[in-house]
A and B are shown apart, each in its own frame.
Chain A
Amino acid sequence: MLSQEEIRLVLSEAVRTGGDFAELFWEDKEEHDIDYSGGKVGRATTVRTVGVGIYLLRGEKSVYVCTNDLRLPSLLEQARRAAELLDSGTGSLQIPSFVSRQIASPNPVEISPADVDNARKIELLRNTSGSLSGYAGLRSMDIGYSDKDQRVMIANTEGLFTQDRRTACRLRLKATMEGKDGRLLSRWADYVCPSGFEAFRDTDATTTFAKNFLERMATSLKAEPIRSCTVPVVLDAGSCGTFWHECCGHPLESIAIASGSSEFCGQLGKKVASDKVTLLDDGTIPGMYGSEAVDDEGTPTRRNVLIENGVLKGYLCDRMGGRRLGMQSTGNGRKQDYTYAPTSRMTNTFLAPGTDDEEEMIRDIDRGLFVTGCGGGSGGREFSIEITEGWWIENGRLVHPVSGLTLNGRGMEVIKLVDRVGSRLAPDFGGFCGASSGLVPTTAFQPRIRVSAMAIGGTAE
């Protein structure tokens, strides 16, 4: 790693053409990936990501340069390059002494995966795979193990010097299954924990997860198509929180607000959703995949109330997004790695629990949809979510599984129609969100909710 004196030299070089702020982001990440397929190890690989990004701001202008040539002359050259790209004249920003600020990680590590030899990781794969025999129609089953150990250091011209370590372990299951009618279905699921290898101490947990995954696939293969219709939709507690990630989370990021591409522009303090909606984003929750001590700009993560009882309370801001909106960073400046400039991103986004009864939400419906599993989706003015698992409701009862559906609509319209919010908040393992600053770990979860009317794209005629 660079010394503080070397960092000072680099930052000083960067601000010499009038930058009013500069930041150095240093990263060293090691990953281990092992593929397991057909009862044997296919490949094991070590991946090392090392590099530095220099972020330079002047007012609402930004420059981001990065390199993985970490020799000091190369970094000084990159800093000069950043200064030239800013092209604002001359500057004399004084950099105060660095003050080390360390915040405890919300995700402490007990057993560093780097200290665990491949044999133990392969044993985990073998045990998980061995528990999955006897599933009719299973055409292929691949299991991948991955761990990452990312160390970042962030220093800036305001005197900040902070470090963070982010560790995660994952089992990825990928299966293709054939139904009785010959139809094939491919799915994947991640058992991922933002912790060390202790994530796999409970071996029953991984095998139960894997069995559930295959059983749910088998159920999906029995699904029946439904006709397009507009009906009440119940989204189950847990990972169906993807709904909030796509229909509200992305449009509440400062990058969307500043570019005018969000319907939430100019709506602060106004009623934007039903009274039952209180939406939060919180990067401090212990044990959650979207949690970090600090964001990728060194700002401590925090609990942000976005919507409270239906009233819009805040946006998710990175440093530049905050500048462009006249706000402060909310600890949401995130990025995949040093090759990306930070921008506003979600962490753990969730709907606060309400008081409604979960069973009543379904019992009360004549015809409707109960969504139990969401795949990915996309956000914006119009959002869409892939429904991986769901049930058709008739006369208050679940009658058959459904498949091949997407839910889509305009977020601002749909969140006004939330008429039930359950009292049981269930978590989500989490996954990756892809946007302009790359892939970042996030979670999205909720209690069971009901939307009084949504258009469903069915395939039956």
Chain B
Amino acid sequence: MMERKDWEKAFGHLPEGVDAAELQAQRQQVVTATAANGSITDTGASSVTTIYARVCGEVSGTACTQDLGEDLSELLETARRDGMCASGNRLTLQGKETMFSGRVETGSKATPAQLKETALLLEQKLRQASGMIQQTSVTVSEEENTSQLVSSNGAEMESTSRAIVVSVSAQAEIDGFGCGTAFELNLPGLESVDADQIVRETVERLSLQKEPESFTPGRFRVLLEQPVVWNIMLTAWMAFAGPRCQNRTSCLSDKLGQKIGADCLNITDYPSHPACGQQFAFDYEGTPSVPLEIMRGGVMTGMLHHLDSAAAFSVASNGRAGRCPSLTSGIPNQHTVTPDIWVVEPGSSTKEQLLEQLGDGIRITDSYDPFHCLDISSGHFSIPCRGILYKDGKPVKNLASIAIHGTLEELFQSVIGVADDLMISPFIMTHAYCVGAPSVLVSELVVSGK
């Protein structure tokens, strides 16, 4: 991380035309252990620190580097130099009084041996859980994220959060039909790893897959299982992004305060959650992250804001300034908002109770490709998935290569039941934030397929 003497030296001689500056070091340390076929096959460890600079004044600009040998003054100068070509845009840096202060640390450290032991135990239980399972792989990782932010106006803050991420992959053959499943969990610690529950979840996901049959497309009552709701929310949160609502490229622009969903639908973005290891103390602008009610009783009650979008709506930032990669880089550096732990709040019904209410309908068990199915500006989605046709509350036949269609608002309005099976998983690949979802029962949705 950054040394005090280095940042004090850099802030002591700000580049010409710069009045204020911020430096942030983000370090991610990950240790992983993967077990397959009864032994540890792959292990890994990484420690990567990225330093970001933001300067503001007559010139405003940004820069970032992973070159730990680079002088912080030089990094500020790079930000100033790049800022010279911007059209007078002024970065918003806030005063020390509204910024987070101090140091927080959450989560306990696990040893590589403990990670290996947990991976081996889980993989063994999974492999032995059912005769249909042919191949399994379990990865247990400890992810430690540290953020240190300092500013030329005297703000200093640091947070460290540790989480255990369990990744499960299993392949099976059921009556000659090959199938598989994969999912991830973000947990507070190794003591939270419920091996029996993970095995039950995996076996259920596999056993729901069978040789598909044809059906007649149309409108159906549907039960969207937890992985499907999770997949939708993985991108749907963007409709609640303040900057998108500000420039009216979200289907939910102008909907703040309006009823956009069913009474039973509640969405919250948490900086910390008891079922999740990853925690967020402040965003990259230094704003403290606070619990944020996004939807209550179907009413849109909040948006994700950074300083600029919050100002446009005349409210205070809620600490969701984030960076996303530009798709040319592994280093996220595009100014945007991101959620922390985005949760569709669980209901009080069990999934079995919702299945009883399904009657004649389709149980959508899984969906694919969360990134190309939803247009945030119109809200239209067309999501490829698979499922099981139910008649009189009983499974009749399996369906594959089907798709569900509609708009986000139609979907939110049509929810008639929310299950208690909340599961929180990290965002695919980057693990930059988490999304949690339960299963939901929807009164009607267009389902296509053959």
Write out the residue numbers on chain B whose beta carbons fall within 8 Å of the beta carbon of A337: 330
| A49/B330 in contact, CB under 8 A | yes
Write out the residue numbers on chain A whose beta carbons fall within 8 Å of the beta carbon of B248: 139
How distant is the Cα of A168 from the Cα of B331 in the complex, in angstroms? 17
How distant is the Cα of A68 from the Cα of B28 in the complex, in angstroms? 11
Task: Give the residue of A29, A69, A85, A410 whose beta carbon is less than 8 angstroms from that of B47.
Answer: A69
Residue of A nearest to B33 (CB): A85
**Closest CB of chain B to A214's CB: distance in Å?**
15
The 3 closest A-B pairs by CB, nearest first: A457-B403, A457-B448, A455-B450
Residue of A nearest to B70 (CB): A48
* Secondary structure call for the A interface: strand
Q: A336-B330, A410-B401 are in contact. Are A50 and B369 (CB under 8 A)?
A: no
Residue of A nearest to B32 (CB): A64
Residue of A nearest to B403 (CB): A457
| A48/B403 in contact, CB under 8 A | no
Residue of B nearest to A182 (CB): B378
Query: Which chain B residues (178-197) contact chain A, with CB distance < 8 Å?
Result: 178-180
How distant is the Cα of A440 from the Cα of B68 in the complex, in angstroms? 25
Write out the residue numbers on chain A whose beta carbons fall within 8 Å of the beta carbon of B63: 45-47
Q: A230-B450, A406-B384 are in contact. Are A381 and B330 (CB under 8 A)?
A: no
Interface string of A219-247 (1 = CB under 8 A from B): 00000000110100000000000000000
- Interface size class of chain A, counting residues whose CB lies under 8 Å from the partner chain: 35 or more
A-B contact pairs, 26 of them (CB 8 A): A33-B326, A40-B87, A40-B89, A42-B89, A44-B83, A45-B82, A51-B48, A61-B39, A66-B46, A68-B66, A78-B47, A85-B43, A118-B84, A186-B377, A227-B217, A228-B217, A376-B369, A377-B369, A378-B368, A380-B180, A381-B178, A381-B179, A382-B384, A386-B372, A408-B384, A439-B325
Write out the residue numbers on chain B whose beta carbons fall within 8 Å of the beta carbon of A41: 85-87, 89
How distant is the Cα of A34 from the Cα of B403 in the complex, in angstroms? 38
* B interface residues with partner A (beta carbon < 8 Å): 39-50, 61-70, 78, 82-87, 89, 112, 134-135, 137, 169, 171, 178-180, 217-219, 247-249, 251, 325-331, 333-335, 368-369, 371-373, 375-378, 380, 382-384, 386, 400-403, 405, 428-429, 446, 448-450
Most buried by B among A47, A176, A227, A455: A47
| A61/B41 in contact, CB under 8 A | yes
How distant is the Cα of A149 from the Cα of B39 in the complex, in angstroms? 40
How distant is the Cα of A324 from the Cα of B450 in the complex, in angstroms? 38
Interface string of A47-68 (1 = CB under 8 A from B): 1111100000000111111111
| A67/B46 in contact, CB under 8 A | yes
Residue of B nearest to A43 (CB): B86
Q: A184-B378, A337-B330 are in contact. Are A404 and B405 (CB under 8 A)?
A: yes
How distant is the Cα of A29 from the Cα of B179 in the complex, in angstroms? 40
| B85/A122 in contact, CB under 8 A | yes
Not counting A43-B62, A185-B378, A186-B378, a sample of 10 additional A-B residue pairs whose C-beta atoms are within 8 angstroms of each other reads A41-B86, A45-B333, A60-B41, A148-B328, A184-B375, A186-B375, A341-B42, A341-B44, A375-B372, A409-B401
| A457/B328 in contact, CB under 8 A | no
How distant is the Cα of A319 from the Cα of B348 in the complex, in angstroms? 50
How distant is the Cα of A51 from the Cα of B360 in the complex, in angstroms? 56
| A261/B169 in contact, CB under 8 A | yes
| B66/A50 in contact, CB under 8 A | yes
Write out the residue numbers on chain B whose beta carbons fall within 8 Å of the beta carbon of A51: 48, 66
Write out the residue numbers on chain B whose beta carbons fall within 8 Å of the beta carbon of A260: 134-135, 171, 180
| B249/A62 in contact, CB under 8 A | no
| A405/B44 in contact, CB under 8 A | no
Write out the residue numbers on chain A whose beta carbons fall within 8 Å of the beta carbon of B449: 228, 455, 457
| B65/A50 in contact, CB under 8 A | yes
Query: Does A201 interact with chain B (Cβ within 8 Å)?
Result: no
How distant is the Cα of A91 from the Cα of B47 in the complex, in angstroms? 26
Residue of B nearest to A55 (CB): B44
**Closest CB of chain A to B336's CB: distance in Å?**
11
Task: Give the residue of B45, B65, B137 whose beta carbon is less than 8 angstroms from that of A82.
Answer: B45
Write out the residue numbers on chain B whose beta carbons fall within 8 Å of the beta carbon of A228: 217, 448-450
**Closest CB of chain B to A450's CB: distance in Å?**
18
**Closest CB of chain B to A117's CB: distance in Å?**
9
Write out the residue numbers on chain A whose beta carbons fall within 8 Å of the beta carbon of B371: 376
Query: Does A286 interact with chain B (Cβ within 8 Å)?
Result: no
Write out the residue numbers on chain B whose beta carbons fall within 8 Å of the beta carbon of A382: 368, 384, 386, 400-401
| A46/B82 in contact, CB under 8 A | yes
Residue of B nearest to A432 (CB): B327
Interface string of A407-431 (1 = CB under 8 A from B): 0111000000000000000000000
Query: Does A434 interact with chain B (Cβ within 8 Å)?
Result: yes
Write out the residue numbers on chain A whose beta carbons fall within 8 Å of the beta carbon of B86: 41-44
Task: Give the residue of B171, B329, B333 whose beta carbon is less than 8 angstroms from that of A148.
Answer: B329
| A386/B373 in contact, CB under 8 A | yes
Write out the residue numbers on chain A whose beta carbons fall within 8 Å of the beta carbon of B135: 259-261
How distant is the Cα of A322 from the Cα of B335 in the complex, in angstroms? 41
**Closest CB of chain B to A88's CB: distance in Å?**
10
**Closest CB of chain A to B81's CB: distance in Å?**
8
Q: A82-B45, A410-B400 are in contact. Are A186 and B249 (CB under 8 A)?
A: yes
Query: Does A144 interact with chain B (Cβ within 8 Å)?
Result: yes
How distant is the Cα of A125 from the Cα of B429 in the complex, in angstroms? 31
How distant is the Cα of A64 from the Cα of B30 in the complex, in angstroms? 11
How distant is the Cα of A61 from the Cα of B386 in the complex, in angstroms? 35
| A33/B66 in contact, CB under 8 A | no
**Closest CB of chain B to A157's CB: distance in Å?**
18
| B384/A48 in contact, CB under 8 A | no
**Closest CB of chain A to B51's CB: distance in Å?**
10
Interface string of A437-461 (1 = CB under 8 A from B): 0110000000000000001111101
Q: A68-B66, A183-B378, A382-B386 are in contact. Are A61 and B401 (CB under 8 A)?
A: no
Q: A44-B82, A438-B330, A461-B219 are in contact. Are A377 and B372 (CB under 8 A)?
A: yes
Query: Which chain A residues (372-411) contact chain B, with CB distance < 8 Å?
Result: 375-378, 380-382, 384-386, 404-406, 408-410
Write out the residue numbers on chain B whose beta carbons fall within 8 Å of the beta carbon of A275: none
Q: A43-B335, A455-B449, A459-B405 are in contact. Are A259 and B137 (CB under 8 A)?
A: yes
| B249/A85 in contact, CB under 8 A | no
Write out the residue numbers on chain B whose beta carbons fall within 8 Å of the beta carbon of A406: 373, 382-384, 403
Write out the residue numbers on chain B whose beta carbons fall within 8 Å of the beta carbon of A84: 112
Q: A34-B85, A263-B178, A377-B369 are in contact. Are A70 and B68 (CB under 8 A)?
A: yes
| A86/B43 in contact, CB under 8 A | yes
Interface string of A293-337 (1 = CB under 8 A from B): 000000000000000000000000000000000000000000011
How distant is the Cα of A26 from the Cα of B376 in the complex, in angstroms? 39
How distant is the Cα of A146 from the Cα of B326 in the complex, in angstroms? 9
**Closest CB of chain B to A253's CB: distance in Å?**
14
Task: Give the residue of B44, B331, B448 whose beta carbon is less than 8 angstroms from that of A63.
Answer: B44
| A186/B376 in contact, CB under 8 A | yes
Write out the residue numbers on chain A whose beta carbons fall within 8 Å of the beta carbon of B69: 70
How distant is the Cα of A263 from the Cα of B176 in the complex, in angstroms? 12
Query: Does A31 interact with chain B (Cβ within 8 Å)?
Result: yes
